Amino acid sequence: MGTATYVPVVKFPIVMGNKLISYGTLTMAASYATGGDSIDWAAETGIGAVEVVSINGSIGGYMLTPDAANAKILAYEAGADAAALDEVASTTNLSSETAQVIVIGNV
């Protein structure tokens, strides 16, 4: 099972009203897991109740999509069928792929 990591730019989340905001760099796992790399947003950001995860565009030809409810980051790429994007194959090394991320949640 792949586990993505997150390094915040600022050690503690920024407080804006009743929201916490964290921004930093996401790095994917060396062995991608089907269904997405897992990530513990509470441990990585200090935000317990995550509402929004925004990932900055595509990286290295991959499109990353957050699944905040299930604490996963899914990776997609253009498949050989030229149709809609396909999930990256299990065990693909994505560890050189990084993206800028903004995480927003409740205080």
pLDDT digits over 46-104, tens only?
A: 888 899 999 986 678 899 999 988 999 999 998 777 678 899 999 999 999 889 999 99
Taking the C-alpha atoms of residue 73 and residue 38, their distance in angstroms, rounded to an integer, is 6
pLDDT of 72: 94
pTM: 0.84
Does the pLDDT value for residue 107 go beyond 80? Answer: no
SS3 state at 42: helix
Helix extents (H) in 1-107: 41-45
The DSSP-derived string for 18-39 is TEEEEEEEEE--SSPPTT-EE-
pLDDT digits over 5-46, tens only?
A: 999 988 788 899 999 999 999 999 999 999 999 999 888 888
Taking the C-alpha atoms of residue 76 and residue 55, their distance in angstroms, rounded to an integer, is 13
Beta strand 37-38 with 72-77 is: antiparallel
